[in-house]
Chain A
Amino acid sequence: MLVYKNAEYAANRLAGTIVRRIIGNQHIPIAIANIANSKVAYTTLADNIPDVCDLKELDLDPVPLGYINNQKVATYWARKPMRQDWRQGLRAANVVCLSHPHAEWGGNNLKQIAACIDGVYPTFKQCLGKVKRNPEAKGSIAFSRDFAIDSAGVLFYKSITVGGIDDNGEPDYLPSFEWASDAFIEAVN
C-alpha cells in the first residue's frame, strides 16, 4: 500500500482531497483539510465531523467510484488519470461525470458520495418499488456502484443503456448488451 513519509509532500498531494482513514477494519471516507507534522486535519464525508489522525492511518488507495444517488438522479462518476492534477486524493478537478456531463461534483452531496465510496445502495427491489410508485417523476436511482434504473424502466450499466426492466421486474437486455447479465446478477445478489 502506498504510504507517504514526508508530511510536506503528503500535504501537497492530499490537502483538499478525499481519501479514507483506517479505523480497525473500517476505511472511512474523509475530506482532508490540511497536514502538518504528520498530523492530518479532516472532516468525515458522511457526517461532516472534524477530527485529526496520523498520516500513517490513511488509506491512500484511490477511492472507488460509480453511481452516486443524488436526490432525484443517479449520476455515474469516474476518476481521470490526469497529469495536470498531481493529487493522490480525489477532488473535483480529477473526477468526471460520465452519465450527466454537466453535473457538478460535491456541493451538498457529500453524504451520497460517502455512500458510493462505501458501496451502500438501496436494493434492486427497493429501487424498483420507488420508480414504480411514482413513474411520472422523471429520475433514476442506483442499486449498486454499476447499475441504475430510471422511471421509464431503462436499465443503465456504468452510464450505458443496456436494456430495460420488464413488467415482472426482470432485466431485458438490448441484443448487443447481454454480456452485462453476469454483472447484474452479481449486483442484485
Chain B
Amino acid sequence: MKNNILNTIKTIHPTNGMIGVEIEVEGSKLPQILPSWRIDVDPSVKNWSKHENYEYVIPKPTDLIGVKAALDELELAYKMNNSKVVEGELCGVHVHLNVQEWSLKKFYTFLICYYIIEEVLTTYCGPAREGNHFCLRAQDAEFILFQIRKTICEKNFKYLNNENIRYATCNLYSLFKYGSLEFRAMRSTRDLAAIYTWCEILTTLAANTGKFNSPLEAISQFSGDGELLFLKTLLGKHAPLFTKVPDLEKKIRNGARRAQIIAYATDWNTYKDEKVNPFK
C-alpha cells in the first residue's frame, strides 16, 4: 500500500483533479447563474457586508485549464452584467490543492518549502490579507507548526484534525474533508488574471518541491543556494513577481528558521521514499 495521504487519512473520499477554487465576492450586479460555478451565500460575509455577496465555487477539482475556463466564464459574466467588485477585508479566494496521492515525505517537503517562503508569498495576496485573522501566517499563529511537528514525531495525523488550525494561510484541516491543502490568503479581486496567476504559483510550488527527496534536502539546498536562488528554484518563472518584496532575504531567512522545527522533527529516512505524481 502506498505511504500517501489517501491511505493515511481514512476519511477521505478519493477524488481526481488537482485544483479547486472558491471566490468570495462582495459587490453589485454580480452574476447569479454560471454553468462552471456553484454559487453559494457565505454567512461569514453576509452578516457584515453592505453589498450583494456570493461565493463562487468550482464544484469539482479540475486542472489549470479548467480553472482558466471557469475564470474566463466569470470574467465574461462580470462584463455582461457590468458587475462591480468591492475589495475589502471580508472576502478572500481559497485555492485547494489535491494532495491525496502525495507521499508523506512529499507532503512534508512541500510544507517546509511553503513555510520558508510563506511571508513572501502572502505579499502577492494583498496588504489586507497579511496578518488577517481569516488567513494567519505561521509567524502570526505559530501553533500550527507545533501541530505539524507533533504529527511528524508521533506519526499521527490527529493533531491536524483540528478546527484550531483552520484559519491559517495554509489550512491543513482541509485534509480530512477533501484530502486537500486549502490556501486561504488570496484577496478577492476583480482582477481574475491575478487569481489565475496565484493558482499557477501554488501549482508551480507544488511541482518544484518534488525536486527534493526529503524535507532535509530542501532545507539543505536552501542553506547552500541562499534565499534568491531557492526562491527561483521553487517558483520558476513566477519568482520575479517577488524579487522586489521589501526585506525579501530576511523574510525568507526568518521563514527557514521557523520551518526548522518541522524539518528537523524526525529522521526522514524512517519515512518510506517513493515516487508519486502529486497531480495524478
Contact = CB atoms under 8 A, between A and B. Distances in A.
Given A82-B167, A160-B261, A62 B89 contact: no
Interface in A60-90: 60-62, 64-65, 78-84, 86-88
A23 interface: no
A78 B142 contact: yes
A2 interface: yes
Most chain A CB within 10 A, of B133, B143, B261, is at B133
Given A80-B143, A81-B140, A87-B133, A183 B167 contact: no
B87 to A, nearest CB: 12
B127 A79 contact: no
B132 interface: yes
Interface stretch (B110-118, B158-166, B227-235, B237-245): B158-166
Interface stretch (A3-11, A24-32, A113-121, A133-141): A3-11
A39 interface: no
Contact of A81 (B130, B141, B257, B261): B141
A88 B193 CA distance: 29
B260 A179 contact: yes
Given A62-B140, A82-B167, A183-B257, A98 B146 contact: yes
Q: Which of B48, B146, B263 has the most CB of A within 10 A?
A: B146
Interface in A126-156: none
Contacts of B257: 182-183
B175 interface: no
B70 to A, nearest CB: 27
A1 B165 contact: no
B167 A83 contact: yes
Contacts, number: 83
A159 B145 CA distance: 13
A9 B127 CA distance: 18
Contacts of B261: 158, 160
Contacts of B48: 6, 9, 12
A33 interface: no
Given A2-B127, A160-B261, A83 B166 contact: yes
A179 to B, nearest CB: 5
A82 B142 contact: no
Contact of B163 (A13, A82, A159): A82
A81 B260 contact: no
B136 A3 contact: no
B89 A4 contact: yes
Given A158-B261, A160-B261, A80 B128 contact: no
Q: Which of A1, A3, A62, A80 has the most CB of B within 10 A?
A: A80
7 contacts: A2-B128, A6-B48, A64-B139, A78-B142, A80-B141, A86-B44, A159-B146
Interface of B: 44, 48, 89, 127-133, 136, 139-144, 146, 163-168, 257, 260-261, 263-264
Given A61-B130, A81-B144, A179-B260, 12 more contacts: A1-B130, A2-B89, A2-B127, A2-B130, A64-B139, A79-B142, A80-B165, A82-B167, A83-B163, A83-B164, A84-B163, A86-B44
